[in-house]
Amino acid sequence: MNRIWIGHDKSRPEPKVYVCPECKEPVQEVPPTTWCGAWGQAADFSHLDGEPLCPVVTADGYRPALPEVK
């Protein structure tokens, strides 16, 4: 009987899974659906429900957190 090894193909990179560093929920690489132009340029990531990532204090005031790789 021939056996087929099903394992990780090391030539292919692992897909990156991003999470919000504040709430640890998964995020998507899609701008938020609830963004106001007065807040500046829209963020590149949002929670799965379309909301911006959790706010953090920066030198420019409150801004959406930057995602981290899980």
pLDDT of residue 7 exceeding 60, the answer is no
Please check whether residue 36 lies inside any domain of the structure. yes
Please check whether residue 5 lies inside any domain of the structure. no
Please check whether residue 32 lies inside any domain of the structure. yes
**DSSP characters for 48-64?**
TTSPBPPEEEETTEEEE
Reported as a single tens digit per residue, the pLDDT across 42-56 is 999 999 999 999 999
Q: Could you tell me the residue range of the domain that residue 54 belongs to?
A: 18-69
What would the mean pLDDT of 18-47 be, rounded to a whole number?
A: 93
Please check whether residue 46 lies inside any domain of the structure. yes
> 44 or 2, which is more confident?
44
Number of domains in the chain: 1
Q: How many CA atoms lie within 13 A of 36 on its CB side?
A: 3
